[in-house]
Structure 1
């Protein structure tokens, strides 16, 4: 299988952080976004940022910026679709998504997702971690997605589907289990940012 293309998902509205571009918040002197890019870039063939609004504000990152093609902030699946369309135009078969507010995700994210997808006609895998209450927790913004299913996803979004796991389950999606419970710790609030500083 060809190496996937990478998409950083930053299309949300960051309401719990007080709005604005959460990915531009600084952590240890670097933006969350640049930390995520530094982790994802070595694992993928090419990388782009999914964000809405004026793309010029990300010019210094030097990445293509792709907006949601489905209007109205309908959630991460819109960013996944935008990434699929962008990657498909360049001949990619798959994309891997990572959230812009999750700076410590595993450095072997892509290899583990690919391993879990072996034998699948349409590689579709979400990252998961152990969870004391539920057994395991899925992380729907971290996944391997086949561009071949992009029109199906587009139809589902236009039909009102919003939950990532509903769509992945419909297509026999799998999970790649990462052993650390906090592997996908994400920065949603100012308190989380303080915790991330301590984790550094």
Structure 2
């Protein structure tokens, strides 16, 4: 799994100032000893759980090898991390828990609050992606630091809660975190093109239907 979020760019420089110089293309960050090892790098290895995945391309008969993940490395604060689905879940659970992971605090509560609350002025709402067919993903939403945030569930038109936040990836990978329901949900289709099916909303409806019992 590979991450890219240009919108997080403004926060990358302060983060780099706090974290110090890059540790190199094979650096692994371990969040805590109580939940098993983590596997995260800024360049994909050739084997192992963090090796680059190959998303399927609907426009062609074969999988499309993931490019730009083995080097040379651009050590950016807002893109380029290669990791596993399990580690992505751990990261999301840490955000749901307000910045703590196990017994360790990894983010200040103020940092998580800045992600979970809209940072856009009223004249830029609702937040919009540049592609018309993705309007359903951000209808009724604002934008926190690096993630879209639900402001109006009725306008959004899909199950959820005010204050839910998350993001989507180009290969139809989806994450949402719902503090009101204490839910973290991830969906990985690994298929292009982006958001040309209703898979994400159908999955979401099933999750909330199960929560209602």
TM-score normalized with structure 2 length: 0.30
TM-score normalized with structure 1 length: 0.31
More helix by share: 1
Greater Rg over alpha carbons, structure: 2
Q: With CA pairs under 8 Å and 6+ residues apart, which has the higher RCO, 1 or 2? A: 1
More strand by share: 1
